Structure 1
Amino acid sequence: MKKLFLIALLLFSSTLAIAQKSYTIDGQSIQLKTAVDGPVALLWNIIDEEYRYFIKTQDDQLVELINTKNANGVYQEQYKSALKDITNNTLDVSKLKLRLPSLARFIERYNTAVNPDYISMHASFHPEIRLGIFGGITNSPFVENPQNVKSAVFGAEVEMLVTANRRHSGYLQLRQVAEKDEFKYQTTELSLGYRYRFIENSRFSVYGDAKFATLNFTKATVIYIDENDTINTEHIDETAFDIPLIIGLGADVKLSNTIYANLGYNQIFAIFFKNQGNFSSDITLGLKFKIN
């Protein structure tokens, strides 16, 4: 069993950062490896055939984690008290082991708690995938729409959330704007975008939305009067790829472990598209389903 543990420890250790840096501790210069970096760092090395672990605090102080025996041969577990002080007793240390994998997980949990944007050095990419459907209205603010007509819009999307930091996600969206009698315009749009959740908790999130690439298949009928006072009708059927950087807002509300309600206020403005004179009335409601 001891051999199996040593093998597992070595395998885990091989995935950690191997860069070493020299530190002076008790007047002695020693090389330490960084296992976890962040607001609080975990440093370690094998010195004189002994595993030694250190915490580098936010004010760059080094604290060694030790576990010595008393006169009766009972381990004192001083490292737990030290970590309680360093983390302001915000995490449970009762089951914490003085071993590299256990310490690394503990420090990463603490770093995530104090810095929502912290991303683990060792996190593997296993995104949470959500399938969404939505519908609503839009006045297509980046298209000439003199009467500010509202059209129906509906669509679907696949969203991938970074599990190591759920504030970040990317999405692929299919969106259809329907034609109306008073506004002969329709488009099918395929787009890529990014979301940042500036409010994120277990029940709901609020995010900013940036749509940075779009492919539109558009059909429209334009009626105009030329210089001879003749009424002309022009039929448009075009495909266009753009990088507009369209900005919107949204919110997800958790209904169950796998279902979220979604509200979107879209197309508020764009960096590389010009608004055609109508303030955005692009509002959608939908559902998202966690599928993994």
Structure 2
Amino acid sequence: MKRFVFITIFLFSAFLASAQKTYTIDGQSVQLKSAIEGPLDLLWNSFDNQYRYFIRTEDHQLLELLNTKNANNTFQEEYKSTLTQLTNNTLNASKTNFNLRDLAHFVDQYNASVSPEYASERSKFKAELRLGVFGGITNSPFVGNPENIISSVFGGELEMLTGKNKKHSGYLQLRHVAEKDAFKYETTELSLGYRYRFINTSAISFYGDVKFATLNFTRATVTFEDSANNTITQYIDDTAFDVPLIIGVGADIRLSPVIYANVSYNQIFAIFFKNQGNFSSDITLGLKFKIN
């Protein structure tokens, strides 16, 4: 449980660190979130239930977009003239409302018009699909394995990455643990899971992994002695659905625009499964292919 709390705090802290940065405005340090990054950056946050928006230029000037009221309680809409000046009159800001959606759309349009390398925010939010195959070893730490026998494991998965920076993903995975002569246990598992990439660059990403739903088709042979010292052999053929919350970590390494190498350390621990005495030796290597 302590490990779960530690990893949860670590991932949450990494998420907060990546989501906002500290800037100095009028001599004060404030935390701002990034909505658009490009030739013009759009930054924002909420202070005392009031939203404030800022534009950061390519020469790192930070300008606030204002919408103050006059003596007649009428909004002045100063932000429209600021946007017009910043975009050199190339876009019409007259119909842009003072909210994050409209401001982001305006800045996104401008960035796309002046920079061929700029990726529109709308395209950034498009889900990315990756098809993966993998193989490796496991000691099935949540199953009774007195001799800590290592078995082979292999499988495949379909992963969908979403969000502005593709840090979040969900996946559907099929994996099979093969039987060994010394360990008469095999299982085929279909699972659903979630990953958060706390480090995510164009070359490599590191993620935390939680497998929250599993459907296992298991066959095993269990031999034991009863109270009369008789040897009993029991054959198990079982299907089980669980919500185990199994925690793992991994990394994707970019080999080409559409191919990634993957290394994963799986089944480190689970919230609702008990470790049966062997620390996890579940490690897989694989390849992922971008398919859209």
With the shorter chain as reference, the TM-score category is 0.5 to 0.7
Provide the TM-score with structure 2 as the length reference: 0.65
Residue 222 of structure 1: SS of its match in structure 2?
strand
Q: Whole-Å Cα distance in 2 between the matches of residues 67 and 201 of structure 1?
A: 36
Q: Whole-Å Cα distance in 1 between the matches of residues 162 and 212 of structure 2?
A: 19
Q: Is the 8 A contact 1:159 1:169 kept in 2?
A: yes
Q: Whole-Å Cα distance in 2 between the matches of residues 212 and 55 of structure 1?
A: 38
Q: Whole-Å Cα distance in 2 between the matches of residues 255 and 173 of structure 1?
A: 22
Q: Is the 8 A contact 2:158 2:171 kept in 1?
A: yes
Change (3 A) 1:95 1:244: farther
For residue 79 of structure 1, report the CA deviation from its aligned partner.
Answer: 2.8
Q: Whole-Å Cα distance in 2 between the matches of residues 102 and 216 of structure 1?
A: 48
Unaligned runs of 5+ in 1: 1-34, 42-53, 69-76, 81-92, 110-119
Q: Whole-Å Cα distance in 2 between the matches of residues 79 and 141 of structure 1?
A: 62
Residue 215 of structure 1: SS of its match in structure 2?
strand
Q: Whole-Å Cα distance in 1 between the matches of residues 179 and 65 of structure 2?
A: 66
Hey, what does 1:235 align to over in structure 2?
235
Q: Whole-Å Cα distance in 1 between the matches of residues 150 and 88 of structure 2?
A: 60
Hey, what does 1:253 align to over in structure 2?
253
Query: What value does the CA root-mean-square deviation take over the aligned residues?
Result: 3.5
Match of 2:44 among 33, 40, 43: 40
Q: Select between 59-68 and 278-287 the one with higher mean Cα deviation.
A: 59-68
Change (3 A) 1:259 1:178: same
Q: Whole-Å Cα distance in 1 between the matches of residues 289 and 64 of structure 2?
A: 46
Q: Is the 8 A contact 1:96 1:102 kept in 2?
A: no
For residue 108 of structure 1, report the CA deviation from its aligned partner.
Answer: 6.3
Unaligned runs of 5+ in 2: 1-34, 37-41, 46-50, 56-61, 67-77, 110-119
For residue 205 of structure 1, report the CA deviation from its aligned partner.
Answer: 0.4
Hey, what does 1:218 align to over in structure 2?
218
For residue 127 of structure 1, report the CA deviation from its aligned partner.
Answer: 1.1
Q: Whole-Å Cα distance in 1 between the matches of residues 271 and 190 of structure 2?
A: 19
Q: Whole-Å Cα distance in 2 between the matches of residues 103 and 127 of structure 1?
A: 23
Establish whether residue 272 from structure 1 lines up as the match of residue 276 from structure 2.
Answer: no
Change (3 A) 1:130 1:78: closer
Change (3 A) 1:280 1:95: farther
Q: Whole-Å Cα distance in 2 between the matches of residues 175 and 60 of structure 1?
A: 52
Q: Whole-Å Cα distance in 2 between the matches of residues 61 and 291 of structure 1?
A: 41
Q: Identity over the aligned pairs, expressed in percent?
A: 60
Change (3 A) 1:254 1:121: closer
Change (3 A) 1:258 1:124: closer
For residue 56 of structure 1, report the CA deviation from its aligned partner.
Answer: 2.9
For residue 190 of structure 1, report the CA deviation from its aligned partner.
Answer: 0.1
Establish whether residue 291 from structure 1 lines up as the match of residue 291 from structure 2.
Answer: yes
